[in-house]
């Protein structure tokens, strides 16, 4: 994977950990470059436990979420990690966020983008983040939009995270990625996030179930844990069928 450049864009600081930290660990171990961007701190809509602390402030919430997510990124070996300070709950689509992500995509020149599934309704910000990524990705490919001399990005596939409320979101997996060999890396990274104490168990259950499914599919022998994704564009094959 040494020529791969993975760009992960999450609505909040921990979304990427629950949903694709195993895939990130595999890419990093394969020699790929990985870039993680969180559009918000999630201080308004995903920090209920922190707001129970007497005298809590928005800056205090942001600091704790930053420290825990940065620690998780460091544990995985992610060195390109950013949190942008846009408002969450609700996250809004506007020119500023689209332009900033457009520039980031041009800077990274990713070979794959991973973000939220378009239909994820477990948090309203998730579907909005998916739309922001889709629009910014299209902007990044246009020659007529050249911010600071950054060259257009190449067309690339966009994967969508599995929602925590799978059936409610109408999500159907299109891609299963075996994360068995990096499972302990994912668990250690998720356990860095104590501000959402119940969430690691939710996604451990999902990955275990998806591993069980994958092991019963063609080429799935030996899989115990898997992360799944939707795909934005059809897969094009030029040489042979999978």
Question: Residue 217 falls within a domain, yes or no?
Answer: yes
Question: Residue 236 falls within a domain, yes or no?
Answer: no
Conformation bin of residue 45: beta by default, left when phi > 0, alpha when psi is -120 to 50: alpha
Question: In the structure encoding, which two tokens stand for residue 16, read together?
Answer: 């990427």
Indicate the pTM of the whole model: 0.95
Structural domain harbouring 102: 5-231
**Scanning the structure block, which residue is given the tokens 């895939």?**
23
55-89 pLDDT, tens digit each = 999 999 999 999 999 999 999 999 999 999 999 99
Question: Residue 120 falls within a domain, yes or no?
Answer: yes
Question: Per-residue pLDDT for 174 more than 90?
Answer: yes
Instruction: Please tell me the predicted confidence (pLDDT) of residue 242.
Output: 62
Question: Residue 14 falls within a domain, yes or no?
Answer: yes
In this structure, what CATH number is given to the domain that contains residue 203? Answer: 3.40.50.10320
Domain total of the chain: 1
Question: How many Å apart are CA 152 and CA 105, to the nearest integer?
Answer: 9
The pairing of strands 80-83 and 33-38 is parallel
């Amino acid at each position: 994977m040494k020529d791969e450049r993975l760009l992960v864009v999450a609505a909040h600081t921990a979304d990427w950990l629950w949903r694709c930290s195993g895939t990130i660990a595999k890419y990093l171990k394969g020699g790929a470059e990985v870039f993680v961007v969180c559009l918000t701190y999630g201080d308004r809509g995903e920090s209920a436990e922190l707001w129970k602390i007497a005298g809590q402030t928005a800056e205090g919430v942001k600091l704790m979420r930053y420290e825990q997510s940065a620690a998780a990124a460091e544990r995985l070996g992610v060195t390109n990690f950013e949190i942008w300070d846009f408002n969450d709950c609700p996250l809004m689509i506007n020119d500023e966020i689209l332009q900033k992500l457009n520039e980031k995509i041009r800077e990274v020149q990713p070979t794959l983008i991973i973000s939220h599934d378009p239909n994820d309704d477990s948090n309203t910000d998730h579907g909005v983040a998916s739309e922001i990524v889709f629009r910014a990705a299209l902007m990044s490919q246009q020659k007529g939009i050249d911010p600071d001399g950054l060259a257009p990005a190449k067309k690339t596939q966009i994967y969508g995270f599995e929602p925590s409320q799978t059936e409610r979101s109408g999500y159907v997996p299109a891609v299963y990625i075996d994360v068995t060999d990096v499972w302990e890396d994912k668990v250690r990274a998720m356990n860095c996030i104590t501000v959402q104490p119940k969430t690691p168990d939710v996604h451990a259950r999902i990955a275990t179930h998806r591993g069980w499914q994958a092991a019963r599919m063609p080429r799935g022998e030996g899989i115990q844990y898997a992360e799944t994704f939707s795909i934005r564009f059809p897969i094009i094959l030029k040489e042979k069928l999978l």
